[in-house]
A and B are shown apart, each in its own frame.
Chain A
Amino acid sequence: SQTIHQWPATLVQPVGSPLSLECTVEGTSNPNLYWYRQAAGRGLQLLFYSVGIGQISSEVPQNLSASRPQDRQFILSSKKLLLSDSGFYLCAWTPNRGRVTGELFFGEGSRLTVL
């Protein structure tokens, strides 16, 4: 069966420090991968998605970047964090071949607090 892992689960960082959140998927190959941000426990905003290694699409201009160095690894990064980067970050995946049924499968999330 497929599983998705995110780490770290919680992170407290000072303004101006770098960020790296990691997400890996097991039990599947060539998944579509997504980073969402959830602010104030409510709506989800799609930040990035990837359909393959090295292929990143950005949905909104921001202080963050994403990379996909391996097929099942998706990394969210920042060189210098802002206070507004605080939030709950969720990684998700969906199959990219065969019968695509549409639902996303989410990781447990990473809570980032920027002070």
Chain B
Amino acid sequence: AQSVAQPEDQVNVAEGNPLTVKCTYSVSGNPYLFWYVQYPNRGLQFLLKYITGDNLVKGSYGFEAEFNKSQTSFHLKKPSALVSDSALYFCAVRAPTGANNLFFGTGTRLTVIP
């Protein structure tokens, strides 16, 4: 069975500093990995995904994520954080065949301090 872990409930970072939001996964076979962002009382917005190819994936709003197969990780990164990046971030995994749905982590609340 597939699963996703986000070890940090909360991440605080100063504006302008680099940010990292951690995610590790467990899945049989090659994974499909995703990051979503959620602003208060809103639906989830897709940021980026890894299916195959280059381990460094670039997405929306300047975010990127690095797929590391040996560490089963898919950490979200941004070189310079903005106050507007403050939100709830979810990592998700989907099995490459059969399953139609995503399994989500418990979320990490990112706060960017001005």
Which A residues form the contact surface with B (CB < 8 A)? 6, 32, 34, 41-44, 46, 49, 51, 59, 88, 90, 92, 94, 101-109, 111
Contacts and interface: CB of A to CB of B under 8 A. Distances in A.
9 contacts: A42-B88, A42-B106, A49-B100, A59-B101, A88-B41, A90-B44, A92-B44, A108-B43, A109-B43
A51 B46 contact: no
Interface string B19-55: 0000000000000101010000111111001010000
A106 B44 CA distance: 6
Interface of chain B, helix or strand or loop or mixed?
strand
Interface size class of chain B, counting residues whose CB lies under 8 Å from the partner chain: 20 to 34
Nearest to A32: B100
Interface of B: 32, 34, 36, 41-46, 49, 51, 88, 90, 94, 100-107
